Amino acid sequence: MVDGTIINIVRRFLASHVVRINVHLLTHIKGIAVRSGVWWRVNPLRRALIDSAIAYLRSGFVIRSRRLLGMIRDVLVEVLAIISTRRLSFIAYVLGSMRATARGVNPVILGLQLLNTPLQYRWLPQ
């Protein structure tokens, strides 16, 4: 069962992996979101922020504002979280990579085992 705690863990994982923002990343994530039908679930203001950032970067300018980059990064993490929470294998990978301590252990298998345990026996770090 995927609850709010697991979705927050996936968001933190994605936020730690979105480091640089460029036009290729923005267009790629937007394309994936449009193809999977998730793009229309995103807030219209956030969609407009992504579209305007793509247009601004395509015209050859550079975004230097830290606040604006932070806002774009938050929107990207939200879109990626919506896309990736539809895939159980990615959720299992994130949870398994948190738990995997030994080499040679498949994180997807560990994540699936964690997802199959009942909620009262499950322990997830905050």
pLDDT-flagged residues of the chain (< 50)? 126
The pLDDT value given to residue 83? 92
The pLDDT value given to residue 87? 87
Residue range of the domain that includes 62:
20-86
Average pLDDT of the chain, as a whole number: 89
pTM: 0.82
* Residue 99, in any domain of the structure: no
* Residue 9, in any domain of the structure: no
The pLDDT value given to residue 98? 84
> Using CA atoms, how far apart are residues 75 and 77, in angstroms rounded to an integer?
5
* pLDDT, tens digit (0-9, with 9 covering 90-100), for 98-110: 877 777 788 888 8
Quick one: tokens of 69? 């980059």
Instruction: Tell me, rounded to whole angstroms, the distance of Cα 82 from its chain centroid.
Output: 7
* Residue 29, in any domain of the structure: yes
Quick one: tokens of 45? 């203001």
The pLDDT value given to residue 126? 46
The pLDDT value given to residue 74? 95
Domain tally, the chain? 1
* Residue 93, in any domain of the structure: no
* Residue 111, in any domain of the structure: no
* Residue 109, in any domain of the structure: no
* Residue 115, in any domain of the structure: no
Q: How many residues in total does the chain contain?
A: 126
> Using CA atoms, how far apart are residues 7 and 2, in angstroms rounded to an integer?
7
